[in-house]
Structure 1
Amino acid sequence: MTFPAIGKLAPAFTLQNQAGENVSLKDFKGKKNVVIYFYPKASTPGCTTQACGIRDTKTELANLDTVVLGISPDNPKKLQKFIDKYDLNFDLLADEDHAVAEKYGVWGLKKFMGREFMGILRTSFFVDKNGCLRYIMSKVNTKTHDQEVIAYIKEHF
């Protein structure tokens, strides 16, 4: 799998959020920068750390005209439980058939504890207000992801 090209329009998508409402990338065009972060599974330790970091920096991100969308293969019901449990304050989107993950080149072979399987490769995509893909963060540290996102936006957007 390959990532979409930087400098081109980000691949379009419409997915259901935790409340079963459709959210499209085009909803933000002309209004907000969008950080799309793909994560493997709701309520797992690394994914929880990453999501809570975004939660805690939502105001700062909003001040930078940026919205964050988390995408995983979980269903909307599981995403709502994740939001409720950790008081998350941003949309999580259900990509149950991993079609969007494939469009973005983040569905691939993973290795964990000696086992190989297909899954989400933790990656973040930065999309500007025009819908153009500006940056891909492929080496994501769940503990510092939120601060790295803010630093990049401050410097480059």
Structure 2
Amino acid sequence: MNKLITLFITISLLLFSNLATAELSVGDQAPNFKLQASDGKTYQLSDFKGKQSIVLAWFPRAFTSGCTIECKSLADNGHLLKGFNAQYFMASTDELSKNIEFAKETKADFPLLSDPTGDVAEAYGVSFMGYAKRHTFYIDKSGKIVMIDRNVRPKTSAEDMAQHMGRLGFEKI
């Protein structure tokens, strides 16, 4: 009986660890999302297919130091990003009301998406203890992930994002 329990626990741990480490990769189709945003709209990835590239910048929590710095970088330097045929978002597991306040405080002129259930964060492999890891996904017009930045620097987020978009060949407008 003890061997059976040990075997069950071992198999369960192996299965769980494989699920926990499953991450999206470059070349994968980006999981669709349908999330409410700080600008009062609801955005769905599939609505952009064939029209615009997407940059989805996950952040851990509104009103924290690094997240505030990152959001202000994008707000202050949006002109670097607006020259591309791409929609960029920041996204967190915060409630919508919190992201609305955060967008106002940081003067964000782009949508902050709210995923309070964490389902989309889980689909993107960024969910960690109820928060989102600071990862940015670059998604082409076909919905394919063309880059994942897992080493986002909040202070230079906008500059880095613009460089990546240019290097990835995102269409300019």
> How does the TM-score come out when normalised to structure 2?
0.80
Q: 1:7-156 maps to which residues of 2 (within 5 A)?
A: 7-108=27-128, 117-156=129-168
Q: Structure 2: which amino acid aligns with 1:39?
A: F
Q: Deviations over 1:33-85 (max 9, x none)?
A: 11101101111111011011111222221212122111111111111111111
Q: Which has the higher helix share?
A: 2
CA shift for structure 1 position 20? 4.5
CA shift for structure 1 position 5? 2.9
Which ranges of structure 2 fall in alignment gaps of 5 or more residues?
A: 1-19
Identical counterparts, % of pairs: 30
CA shift for structure 1 position 25? 0.9
The structure that has the greater radius of gyration is 2
Contact 2:80 2:159 in 1 (8 A): no
SS of the residue corresponding to residue 8 of structure 1 reads coil
Which ranges of structure 1 fall in alignment gaps of 5 or more residues?
A: 109-116
Q: Which has the higher strand share?
A: 1
SS of the residue corresponding to residue 82 of structure 2 reads helix
Q: After the TM superposition, which segments of 4 or more aligned residues of structure 1 sit over 6 Å from their partners?
A: none
* Structure 1 Cα separation of the partners of residues 130 and 49 of structure 2: 32
SS of the residue corresponding to residue 155 of structure 2 reads coil
Q: Structure 2: which amino acid aligns with 1:71?
A: A
